[in-house]
Amino acid sequence: MRIRRSRKRRRLYRSLIQPIALAPVRLRNFPPAHWAALGIVAIIVAFLIYSGLAWEFYDYPVVVKGGEVVNLEVVKALCGLEYYHIFFVNSKQCQKKLEGILEVREASVSVRFPPAVIVAVEEREPVMELISGGKSFLVDRDGVLMENRGRQLGLLRLFDDSGGDVRPGRKLSSIVLTVALKLKELGIEKEGELHYHPDEGFILMAKGGFPVYLGMTSYLMKTRLEAYRYVWGHLEAEGLKPAYIDVRAPDAPVYSIHSP
């Protein structure tokens, strides 16, 4: 009985020890390709652990190029980049949100390594300021109305006297925009305030305190301004102040004199 028990113990001992004894032999015979694969896996795991713990993957530089309205604070707030792991930054979604801003014509967002987010923005370039209902709007070359946001850009100011519903996102008539920019080229700002009414066209509120009716068609504006300057020069030399001057027909200007 004692011999049988000792044999059983030896078998159990061998069954436990044998795999341990054979392990070094198996590792020595491991193919080099497998070693390389294990090394790559180990590097990836180590990098994932490091990137999950390292602060630079959460607090990384965000560079905004070409933006004035869309600055760093706007990008971080809109895209949720404040202490957000860079691996989870959705560049396409961020780009879509940025292009949803009225002032943005086009945007691109790229995530780079070492950790950084690069945002390139092409904003709409204002060419004119529209004053309507006491509010200021910026107008780009496509006629799109944008909120002014308090910027002082030194642009041509057009006062809208229509009383219509003017709001950001709407478009100014291309004819109105073309004529206004033509008048800017002709130096209308030196003469006074430029107004627009759908029924009367463009009206210059001259520095002398009277309206000058200019009409609409752009190709006649140079002739109309010359007619106005001639009439006003003549009246001023005579010591007369007009109630209005109408040069919509530049060959036959009309005016009215204030009664003494």
Same fold, 55-123 and 126-257: no
In this structure, the number of other CB atoms found within 10 A of the CB of residue 258 comes to: 11
pLDDT of residue 41: 76
Residue with the two structure tokens 């159990």: 12
Are β-strands 242-246 and 254-257 bridged in parallel, bridged antiparallel, or unpaired? antiparallel
pLDDT of residue 248: 95
What CATH code is assigned to 126-257? 3.40.50
Q: In Å, how far are 97, 126, 154 from 70, measured between CA atoms?
A: 11, 15, 20
What tokens were used for 148? 């002014």
Sorted by sequence, the CB contacts under 8 Å of residue 238 that are 6+ apart come out as: none
pTM of the model: 0.72
pLDDT of residue 117: 92
Which residues in the chain land under pLDDT 70?
Answer: 1-30, 34-35, 46-55, 57, 259-260
CA distance 144 to 146: 6
CA distance 255 to 246: 6
Nearest to 86 by CA among 49, 59, 53: 59
Residue with the two structure tokens 């080099």: 32
Sorted by sequence, the CB contacts under 8 Å of residue 69 that are 6+ apart come out as: 101, 103, 104, 123, 149
pLDDT of residue 13: 54
Looking at CATH, the fold of the domain delimited by 55-123 is given as Ubiquitin-like (UB roll) (3.10.20)
Q: What is the pLDDT of residues 114-154, one digit of tens each?
A: 889 999 999 999 999 999 988 999 999 999 999 987 777 88
pLDDT of residue 186: 94
- What is the DSSP track for 174-189? HHHHHHHHHHHHTTGG
CA distance 122 to 28: 60
pLDDT of residue 100: 92
What tokens were used for 21? 């004894």
Nearest to 105 by CA among 74, 58, 142: 142
pLDDT of residue 1: 47
Q: In Å, how far are 102, 117, 123, 202 from 170, measured between CA atoms?
A: 10, 32, 17, 20
Annotated domain spans of the chain: 17-52, 55-123, 126-257
